[in-house]
Amino acid sequence: MTETKINAGQYIQHHLEHLTLNLKTFTLGEGGGFWTLNLDTMIISIIIGIVVFGSMWLAAKQMTAVPGRLQNFVEMIVEYVDKTVYEISHQKSTFIPSLALTIFLWIFFMNAVDLLPVDFFPRILGVFGVPYFKSVPTADPNATFAMSLSVFVLIIFFNIKAKKVGFLKEMLTFPFGPYLFPVNFVFRVIEECVKPLSLALRLFGNMFAGELIFILIAIMPWWIQWPPGAIWAIFHILIITLQAFLFMMLTIIYLSMAHDTH
């Protein structure tokens, strides 16, 4: 039951809780520690993936010589990503552009869920008895770390595949020369570990801060809410595009650095 007066702190806390599934007992609610699944993140990210990539697949399947609007739009994005990858890596490959395209579109649309009103999903689902719902998947560090750890694994995999034993030699000799190999190794390990950490936390930080400011604006009285809400929403459109673009660019740069030597 809802109380008639919820204070501001409780409203904020309520909007910062995830809908969790405890995998040890398969019930909704906390208590699983590591073994909890944030259902709201998974549901929204899977739905967005299906919708976005499904419509791109549809555009590709119904290709006509004179492109319609959807096909035009998809072609524009695909060409742009391909050109960007070629400018940075100077190689024709199909893996890196596909990965970059996936990352860009998926992150962009997951971030864009933040532009819906804060209470939109929680209220609608609250009618069905769902207690908490945090609607932006990328404001969940689980989602951003999942993506950046996958990119990290790919970086290591590409390093080994492209350079084979040269990878070890590069790790041990790179900045300072072969006799200082412990120092080289430590620096290289730190540099490699900062990459996924910064990718994930950058995206998470921007999206979480954006969502929190939307929640704070939602607490203000209705007659004063519209100017700051409008200004922040317009600025946020820039931020979500920028963050998706940046994640894609950094992925491309790291993967193409893994292909060739310094």
Partner 1 sequence: MEIASIIGQVQGFSVLAAGLLVSLAALGTAVGFGLLGGKFLEGVARQPELGPMLMVRMFIVAGLVDAFAAISIVMGLLLFFAENPFLRAVINASQATVGA
From the list 29-37, 148-156, 172-180, 238-246, the region that binds partner 1 by CB under 8 A is: 238-246
With CB under 8 A as the contact rule, the residue among 108, 133, 145, 204 that binds partner 1 is 204
Interaction of residue 246 with partner 1, rule CB under 8 A: yes
CB of 101 to partner 1, least distance (A): 17
The CA-atom distances, in angstroms, between 164 and each of 159, 167, 188 are: 7, 6, 17
Residue window 2-31: x/- pattern of binding to partner 1, with contact defined by CB under 8 A: -------x--xx--x---------------
Residues known to be catalytic? 198, 202, 206
Size of the site for partner 1 (CB under 8 A): 18
Between 56 and 110, CB nearer to partner 1 = 110
Between 59 and 133, CB nearer to partner 1 = 133
Between 47 and 87, CB nearer to partner 1 = 87
Interaction of residue 76 with partner 1, rule CB under 8 A: no
With CB under 8 A as the contact rule, the residue among 42, 218, 245, 259 that binds partner 1 is 245
Between 11 and 181, CB nearer to partner 1 = 11
With CB under 8 A as the contact rule, the residue among 205, 228, 233, 237 that binds partner 1 is 205
The whole-angstrom separation of Cα 149 and Cα 172 is: 23
- Which residues are near partner 1 by CB under 8 A? 9, 12-13, 16, 198, 201-202, 204-206, 208-209, 212, 242-243, 245-246, 249
